[in-house]
Amino acid sequence: MRKKMTTLAIVFAAAVIFMFTVNAQAAGVNTQEYKLTSLTAAIKEIKTSILNRKNIFGTSAFDFYFTVKYRAKTYNSSEIQTNIKKKLFAHTGKQGEGDALKGNLAQVAFQTGAVKQGSYQYITVTVYGKFHTTATQEKKVTNWVSSQVPKLYKKSASDYEKASAIYTWVIKNVTYGQTSSDNRSTFNSAYGARYGKATCAGISQLVYNMMAKAGVQCRIVRSMAHAWNIVKIDGKWYIVDATYGACVRNRGTDINSVAFNNFFLKGTKNYRDAASVMKDWGGGSLKINLKDYVSKNIDGNKVPKSDFNPYSEGFKLITMHAIVLVTLITSAVIVTGFRRDEAEAAGKKTLRSYRGKQDLGMLDLTVKRRNRV
């Protein structure tokens, strides 16, 4: 009896599945194409396809143009797109992914559609977009990072030593500016920073990829007009601004005393854009340390360790302003004192003169009165 019931159950289930499939196909849906059973699985495929620049439509207008199909219990277009963006650019610590992937995309868009059949929504996500670089350019910078970054420091180097070596290389070799290649805005990419000129967007991407290769936790942060990095050293996040550091070279200023002291491993206390937070860029907000990072041995003790020490440009600037201010105040006090003394002397002289005239007038009046008598 039990065997017959089991057989009947299997037959019934097969019949239901057959009817469900036929009805779904009648609605224009080939259920066999919807093998993925969750949005998470769909996002994983989307990420892989974007990184591989999958283009099933063969259009030259985009670097990638494809569709991903999956089934789920519910369908909400806005929620799906929000989750795709959040997870697609989530920080992984891998070169070319996370913040670097988002930064290197000149354009990316998602379109969704769904057909409800039975208890499932058969969802299709169309993805298309363009990179700031060509596939060849991206491969070139990826190979360079993979082969050359490990040569910048010793195998036993700490995260601080790795970050310092990478920052030093970038500020000495990267040029700020805008150059294009292959009709691409490569100045917004790591490739542009390595092989041409780049803006803060491109420089921060190069730093991100180099830090990722070195195994140092790094993120990209943006304000309305600037982009920089934050790195995690000894369990805390600090600001690293290689763009400003690289610009120091153009001013002919000593790199150690300025680029390191003002733009490397800074806390929010001493960085002008520190009020900006991650927000949508990178998928969240991270707490950055208030004070600057202090190491026992910074670049062979060539770089000052404390904030605003006598060797820093910031300290010199503040000192200069203080001296000018004190000089102006002192001058004003001295001049005011001289003028007050002159005014008092002139006042006394006038008063004596006035009193003298009063005495003469009274004497003259007395004489006239006597003459009348």
Residues 76 and 208 in one domain: no
Q: What is the CATH number of the domain that holds 162?
A: 3.10.620
**168 within some domain:** yes
Residues 318 and 336 in one domain: yes
Residues 253 and 124 in one domain: no
Question: Considering the chain, what percentage of its residues have pLDDT values greater than 90?
Answer: 53
Convert the pLDDT of each residue in 257-302 to its tens digit: 567 778 899 988 888 776 665 554 544 578 888 899 986 544 444 4
**64 within some domain:** yes
Residues 59 and 154 in one domain: no
Rg of the chain in Å (alpha carbons): 37
Q: What is the pLDDT of residue 364?
A: 40
Mean pLDDT by runs of 10 across the 373 residues of the chain is 47 40 55 93 97 93 96 96 94 94 96 94 97 96 97 95 95 90 91 95 98 96 88 94 82 61 87 62 69 66 40 44 50 51 54 44 37 37
Convert the pLDDT of each residue in 95-145 to its tens digit: 999 999 999 999 999 999 999 998 999 999 999 999 999 999 999 999 999
Residues 38 and 142 in one domain: no
Q: What is the CATH number of the domain that holds 76?
A: 3.30.110
Residues 185 and 238 in one domain: yes
Q: What is the pLDDT of residue 361?
A: 39
Domain count across the chain: 3
Task: Name the token pair of 214.
Answer: 């070195």
The pLDDT mean for the chain works out to 77
Residues 207 and 344 in one domain: no
Task: Give the domain range for residue 342.
Answer: 314-367
